[in-house]
Chain A
């Protein structure tokens, strides 16, 4: 039937397909649909930046420009990111620019060249030069989202601010950015009034506060603003007075003497922000400053206190009691089990909880255990996303949690001590995690920890049918463990394994599986060089990379024996062939 519709109609229908997987599926139906789909696709998601060459992406999708919900996205592998890599992702840009020009000439009824508008990158090495190239090549560029990236400085930001006159979004999340001065904020031209979202919370240095205030004043559509630690409370108050329409705020330092005038000004400023729904920051907040936000707490749906170690115990509890509409809460483990019990009784709408460790190097006094998690599971029936760093966990607790919350999509549990058993029974935690995967049929992401045998993998292979990403550490007894997962989890995309007794047998048993996955990462396991070579030989569509970061003087012979165990191995499907930006310590087999 669809072949009777003109292309424009089909294209219009495809316009309603927003998810990448849906568009991918549509393009596989027939040639006509493939053609219509590729000419009209505006946004591209490249999960693994090495899986495909940028030119190929640009050639297939000449109209790609990125979009608000799903810009051109790409990320690099979890830790295989070589330290001296070129910024691979940004090579998409010249290609996209070229494609833009070609698109115009090729016609195809799809409009002219599509200049790049949005870019989202994760775990990439990005340089100032490339940010500058981006900015100069695409003056209509709208949105830059960089997550856990590094290699650039405030000079790169200055370039983007200077040349991209219609910038809507700069979102810098947890990047390592070299501070080369505060002048980048002054680079936004007076004509720039289009900012909707500005997040520079991870910047370490000082900023030009006056320039920031002027920028905020002239951007009436600003909805999200996350300040860095250098922004004082006085500056925050002034900014809030100019932008009471904010929906999301990162507070900056938030240190103030609660007996001072500045504190009162802060309270007045915050009270005016009736639209605020989400807060973060609080870098230096002392508990006595917190009452300043009580007036708007009841509107909050999101609260991130995970960088505020000074707020602990009873002060944290007092604050949370005001936040009964919370859907998303990120805290440090100094909230304690008692604090989590309060979360359970107060935050009935809670959907996502993340509890981060506050004291990684020593035995912190306040921590969380299985009790806190159990309390939350009783009190928060809508909970579906969890990241929980704790000191201990029991099977009984996990089974209770599984019964109370059958809707987990993401369940990441990190017991800080590797291989720690259930302290009550001294048993492995197989049954506990088994209960989780059995009950949460929609589970997409799972991270395991504690003492675990092959049994838990049997459960995962049997029940976790929707699982897409699995992270394993210090677990399992034999190859069987890994094979349960590879054979059972039909939707598996990413598998990360460290310090597990899985070897060549597990690696080579189901090699076809890796072509259905995005990637496999194994470190400190029992896989040998010979096993990796065999895999590479059997599967030409996979890149098999062995990463060996040891001192080169140990490796005096040219080729270590096949029995040599590899430190780190990364396997991924690709149509791009072996990558050319790998540094010396990465061997591509």
Chain B
């Protein structure tokens, strides 16, 4: 994971700066969310419980997440538990579909960010997608002509490529390819 992130951080739109050297590694949002999502309980049936968890529960500084991970609790059937776990996984996958709009192109597209391993592939996919919509001059998604931006969770317009790929996927809500803006270096 680390290697990939470093690699992708290096391949960004119109900018070859290696980000990894300056980045703080304290558990980035991208990785953290993945981890908590996949932390699963063993699939017990209705009543599980092997360890003496009662005493653990009494401890005050027992953090909330661990508390909810008492084996076989809450008492729901394994079928329901498993179904919801896989629904949640599907939802997380589906949750990375974002709209892509391009200046001058009347029809928007949608892409699954998780389908791409990094910025380079994303850029290639966008180029592929939008070459059918000529808007007069050069149609290539070119760093010189267009700026690829995205809207993040707060609604701010951000330049694609600044943050590590994993963080980008989780914070990107929508992509916008803007014409006539050159990215600052």
C-alpha spacing A176/B86, complex, angstroms: 14
Give the distance to chain A from B116, nearest Cβ to Cβ, in Å.
25
Q: In the complex, which of the residues A78, A473, A500 has the most CB atoms of chain B within 10 Å of its own CB atom?
A: A473
Interface string of B65-94 (1 = CB under 8 A from A): 101111011111111111110010001000
**Set of chain B residues within 8 Å of A360, measured between Cβ atoms:** 68, 74, 76, 81, 84
**Set of chain B residues within 8 Å of A389, measured between Cβ atoms:** 74, 76
Give the distance to chain A from B107, nearest Cβ to Cβ, in Å.
16
Q: A417-B68, A524-B51 are in contact. Are A174 and B46 (CB under 8 A)?
A: no
**Set of chain B residues within 8 Å of A356, measured between Cβ atoms:** 76, 80
Task: Determine if B44 and A418 form an interchain contact, defined as CB atoms under 8 angstroms apart.
Answer: no
Interface string of B50-70 (1 = CB under 8 A from A): 111110011000001101111
Give residues 13-62 of B contacting A (CB, 8 Å).
36, 39-41, 44-54, 57-58
Task: Determine if B74 and A78 form an interchain contact, defined as CB atoms under 8 angstroms apart.
Answer: no
Task: Determine if B79 and A202 form an interchain contact, defined as CB atoms under 8 angstroms apart.
Answer: yes
C-alpha spacing A79/B45, complex, angstroms: 6
Q: A389-B74, A473-B73 are in contact. Are A524 and B49 (CB under 8 A)?
A: yes
Give the distance to chain B from A451, nearest Cβ to Cβ, in Å.
11
**Set of chain A residues within 8 Å of B68, measured between Cβ atoms:** 360-362, 416-417
Task: Determine if B54 and A474 form an interchain contact, defined as CB atoms under 8 angstroms apart.
Answer: yes
C-alpha spacing A523/B48, complex, angstroms: 8
Task: Determine if A176 and B79 form an interchain contact, defined as CB atoms under 8 angstroms apart.
Answer: yes
Determine the interface band of chain A, counting residues with CB < 8 A from chain B: 35 or more
Interface string of A357-387 (1 = CB under 8 A from B): 1101111000000000000000000000000
**Set of chain A residues within 8 Å of B75, measured between Cβ atoms:** 414, 447, 471, 473
C-alpha spacing A414/B52, complex, angstroms: 20
User: Does A301 touch B at the CB level, under 8 Å?
Assistant: no
**Set of chain A residues within 8 Å of B69, measured between Cβ atoms:** 361
**Set of chain B residues within 8 Å of A102, measured between Cβ atoms:** none
Task: Determine if A309 and B84 form an interchain contact, defined as CB atoms under 8 angstroms apart.
Answer: yes
User: Does A498 touch B at the CB level, under 8 Å?
Assistant: yes
Q: A309-B87, A524-B51, A524-B53 are in contact. Are A79 and B79 (CB under 8 A)?
A: no
**Set of chain B residues within 8 Å of A123, measured between Cβ atoms:** 45
**Set of chain A residues within 8 Å of B79, measured between Cβ atoms:** 148, 174-176, 202
C-alpha spacing A270/B80, complex, angstroms: 28
Give the distance to chain B from A546, nearest Cβ to Cβ, in Å.
13
Give the distance to chain B from A504, nearest Cβ to Cβ, in Å.
17
User: Does A307 touch B at the CB level, under 8 Å?
Assistant: yes
**Set of chain B residues within 8 Å of A81, measured between Cβ atoms:** 45
Interface string of A168-195 (1 = CB under 8 A from B): 0000001110000000000000000000
Give the distance to chain A from B159, nearest Cβ to Cβ, in Å.
31
C-alpha spacing A309/B94, complex, angstroms: 14
C-alpha spacing A357/B75, complex, angstroms: 10
**Nearest chain-A residue to B86 (Cβ)?**
A204
Give the distance to chain B from A418, nearest Cβ to Cβ, in Å.
5
**Set of chain A residues within 8 Å of B48, measured between Cβ atoms:** 79, 523
C-alpha spacing A174/B45, complex, angstroms: 12
User: Does A23 touch B at the CB level, under 8 Å?
Assistant: no
Task: Determine if A523 and B70 form an interchain contact, defined as CB atoms under 8 angstroms apart.
Answer: no
C-alpha spacing A363/B64, complex, angstroms: 9
C-alpha spacing A523/B83, complex, angstroms: 26
Give residues 399-419 of A contacting B (CB, 8 Å).
414, 416-419
C-alpha spacing A358/B67, complex, angstroms: 17
Interface string of A234-256 (1 = CB under 8 A from B): 00000000000000000000000
Task: Determine if A79 and B36 form an interchain contact, defined as CB atoms under 8 angstroms apart.
Answer: no
C-alpha spacing A77/B44, complex, angstroms: 14
Task: Determine if A148 and B77 form an interchain contact, defined as CB atoms under 8 angstroms apart.
Answer: yes
Q: A309-B87, A356-B80, A419-B57 are in contact. Are A79 and B70 (CB under 8 A)?
A: no
User: Does A499 touch B at the CB level, under 8 Å?
Assistant: yes
A interface residue numbers (CB < 8 A to B): 78-79, 81, 123, 148, 174-176, 202, 306-307, 309, 356-358, 360-363, 389, 414, 416-419, 447, 471, 473-474, 496, 498-501, 521, 523-524, 549-550, 567-568
Further pairs besides A361-B40, A418-B73: 13, Cβ < 8 Å: A78-B47, A174-B77, A309-B84, A309-B87, A356-B80, A360-B68, A362-B36, A362-B68, A389-B74, A414-B74, A498-B72, A499-B54, A524-B51
Q: List 21 A-B contacts (CB under 8 A).
A: A79-B44, A79-B45, A79-B48, A79-B72, A81-B45, A148-B79, A306-B80, A307-B83, A360-B81, A361-B69, A362-B68, A414-B74, A418-B70, A474-B54, A474-B57, A496-B47, A498-B47, A521-B47, A524-B51, A524-B52, A567-B49
B interface residue numbers (CB < 8 A to A): 36, 39-41, 44-54, 57-58, 64-65, 67-70, 72-84, 87, 91
Which 8 interchain pairs have the tightest Cβ spacing? A174-B79, A524-B49, A499-B54, A79-B45, A523-B49, A498-B49, A79-B47, A414-B74
